[in-house]
Amino acid sequence: MSTADDVVTDAVLYEKTPTGVAVLTLNRPDRLNTWGGDIATAFYAGLDRAEADPEIRVIVVTGRGKAFCAGANLGSTATVGESLGNGEQRDLSELVGDRQPYFLTTLSKPVIAAVNGSCVGIGLTQALMCDVRFAAAGAKFAASFARRGLIAEYGISWILPRLAGWAAALDLLLSGRTFLAEEAAELGLVKQVVAPENLMRRTMDYAEDVARNCSPASMAVIKRQAYGDAMRDVVEASARAETLLQESLQRPDVIEGITSFLEKRSPNFPGLKGSS
């Protein structure tokens, strides 16, 4: 599906098909494509390029290797303690990038996720902010924020109930449990589950059918219609989540949550203090 216009960047691969599909592939397989400033910068640059290119009609997002995006790039136990233990606020843009996941919903072109493997934390938020999702059989999903001492980040508390319903969203957010692609399909989070070796073929068949047969102008208007009224609150929800995230980074829960994860042990979170 490659053309002469294909570009390879260090953190994200960009391909363009003759039918007008841009494929962005997260390219940090050695760390399971965990989200960091390198991926964020290249990812949003790729989206900008696809959005500005009149030949592009559909955008596909996937990951290289065993994961789609296995959450944020946490680093080592030592770096977690050093960066979070000093009580200072972090510049989250260094990790998340200069935009937030709901940016995907503002694009005029449909964005389709091909979830090839682990889809966790901010990786799950990014996938849910895509318009349509396909997943490889057995791919693991998790909204694992509570198990890291964090809160529901960057608009996932807005999008997840809208896709899966209130009860299912609270189950996934409060438990932080891992669930598989098959359950994700039952909950309406993915359109279809396919064998891993067929994932990109099925996703590209869908994307190229849309690119070939749907009006770009119509799709742009339909996206604005679909997200329109609901989008009034996502900016507020995302901004509030950032404030709560900064507050959570000052608590010992986040150090314990991340450290225990890196040490592969159960976390020992402090009890909740009573309110007066």
Answer whether 249's CB lies under 8 Å from 84's CB. yes
Residue count of the chain, please give it.
276
CB neighbourhood size of 45 (10 A): 16
Percentage of the chain with pLDDT > 90?
A: 59
56 and 102 housed in the same domain? yes
75 occurs within a structural domain: yes
258 occurs within a structural domain: yes
144 and 43 housed in the same domain? yes
171 occurs within a structural domain: yes
CB neighbourhood size of 65 (10 A): 17
Residue 37 has pLDDT above 60, yes or no: yes
Domain containing 247: what range?
214-263
153 and 21 housed in the same domain? yes
Which amino acid is present at 209? D
Write down the pLDDT at residue 215. Answer: 86
Residue 178 has pLDDT above 80, yes or no: yes
71 and 109 housed in the same domain? yes
184 and 247 housed in the same domain? no
CA 194, CA 137: separation in Å to the nearest integer?
A: 6
For 117-173, write each residue's pLDDT tens digit.
999 999 999 999 999 999 999 999 999 999 989 999 889 999 999 999 999 999 999
How many structural domains does the chain have?
A: 2
**Nearest CA among 74, 227, 96, 228 for reference residue 154:** 96
Mean pLDDT check: name the lowest of 15-19, 45-49, 148-152, 182-186. Answer: 148-152
